[in-house]
Each structure stands twice: as C-alpha cells, then as structure tokens.
Structure 1
Amino acid sequence: MLKVRAGDLDKMGLLFQRYHRPLYGFLFHMTQQREASEDMMQNVFYRMLRSRHTFTGQGEFRTWMYHLARNVLKDHLKQGRRRGRHQEITDYEDRLPAELAADEQIERKLEIKALERALGNLSPESREVLVLSRFQELKYAEIAEVLEITVGAVKVRVHRAMSQLKEMYCQSETQNR
C-alpha cells in the first residue's frame, strides 16, 4: 500500500488479489447479500485508491482496510437498502472433506445452515466481532484498532457473542428435532 500511496498504482491489483476474498467474506457475513457484498468490496478498493494518502504505514494494512470496509458497510446500511433474501454460504459446504459418507455430509450441511441462521440472528456488533476474529482471523489487537476500542473490550465482546451464538445455535437445534 505504501507503493500505491507513492504513485505505483499497478500494485493495487496485487492488493486486490490478496484481499478481495477475505474482504468479500467479511461483508457477506455482515449482510448476507451476495451482490451488495460484491459492490461494497469494489467500493472499498475504490476508497483505498481514493484515500491512499491517509495510509501512513504506522499500523497494519489489514486494519486500515477493515476500517474502510466498516465505513462502506455503514454507508450501505444508512442508505436503507432493502435486505435481500437470505442466501446460504455455500463455500463452507464446498470445503467438506470428500471422504465423508453421504449421510455425514448432509448432517454437516444442516449444521452449517443452523450456524448461519444463528449468526444472522446476532446483533450487528456481535456478528462483526465474531466475523473479524473467527472468519477473518484478525488478532484482538487488530480488531481493537478497527473498532477503536480496547483489547479487553474486544475479548469481552467476543466472549459474549460466542455465548449468544452458542445459545441461539442450541435453540435452533432443539427446535429442529
């Protein structure tokens, strides 16, 4: 990003190659809207280019990127776009081990769907810390910087969000039996 800031705009393609999937994953987990997530992801890269002078190199690039992504997400939500129908996260299903028996694969897919529903029912704040920590694998210090809170506050939010997720998942499992 420092090279992009210095005027080597060709390096933006490399950044896109490295970060477009995790960025899309973050936005999709937050909205459950495929097309909107793709649009927002591209908007984040546009903002990176437009705001390249604000990247100082003092912190990590990912932290700065997720800060921009949160702003794009907030703008999207402020616009009041109607939420699309819930779309399933099929990429996790694609990663199921091939050696699993057919009935085991069905069981795992059902578990993934239940987990998706539970994650979607969390508050946006709880979902955000879980997506950043568990799916995007950001360290608590990075999340603290993105959210502009302390590391201790991140730990508390993740713990509470995990408890809520577990409770919602168990409730949905009980109801489906």
Structure 2
Amino acid sequence: MRFEVERKFLVADEGWRAGVTSRRRLTDGLIGQFETGNKVRVRLDEGRAWLTVKGERVGLGRPEFEYEIPRGDAESMLSLVCETCFIEKTRHCVPYAGLVWEVDVYGGILEGMILAEVELDHEGQAFERPAWLGREVTGDPRFRQSALLRRFGESRRVITLEEVLAAPS
C-alpha cells in the first residue's frame, strides 16, 4: 500500500512549459465514490491501464492502491460503467527544486483548465514553489475530480475554471 500526500494548485502563467521533460495523455473515469471519501477510478494512458482505489483522506494524504488491468477492460469500463463521463488531460512533468510537478492540461469536459500538483513524502515536507504557481486548492472540494465529474453530469456541458471558482466550496 502507498500513502499518497499531494498538494494541488492553480497555475498563474505559462512559465511551466519551458521546464517540461515529458508528457502523456490520460483518461480517468470514476467507477464509484462513497460517503467516506473512498473512491474507485479507472485510468488509461498510451501504454497501460489500471484501477485505483483511494481511501479516506487523513490530512493531506490518503491510502492508494493501484492494479494494472488489460487496456480493453479499461476502455469498456470507461464506455459502459463511466457512461462517457470521464476526464481527459495531458499530464506534463516539470522538475523543479528536487521535486517533479505534474501540470495537467485538461481537455474534453474541462477544456482549458490547468492544475499543478506535487507529491510529497510527508505532510510537513517543505518545498520551493515555482514562480508560475498560482493559488493552492489542496483540500478545496470544488477541485476534486469527483466533484468536477458530478458538475459535468448535472450540466452536460464543458465546465470552466471560472464556474468552479464561483461555486460554493
């Protein structure tokens, strides 16, 4: 089991693009979410597919379990179980001050939204913030993928960053 500790931020400008060392396209679909905050999602990229089970949050972290699955199974889950309500994004890896920042540029239902996150070893870990980083949204329920998917499910149209920011937190 892995205990994931991550911090999530808005992006203030395009300065991160100069530091990109790799990128990959991801598709995420929510299979189930529970009142405790536990969730199960399916994800695929160009080369593999996997299921992720995330446990209840404890501070900034949560237990995480990942299981690789056949690509065909993931594609079927996205189309049959997730009912075409999924998140598409291109994840850019940007090393900075000893950590790797993941900058997600969303497409599809979240076209135009850009968020950055960094995984830490522990909750109290100090880190240097890049100049292109904007406001922190860690713990803001409006920026959880499940909330973004739910908002899309209610409106059935592209959701903008402005709409997310205007929603009650």
TM-score, normalised with respect to structure 1: 0.30
Bigger share in strand: 2
Which structure dedicates a bigger proportion of its chain to helix?
1
TM-score, normalized by length of structure 2?
0.31
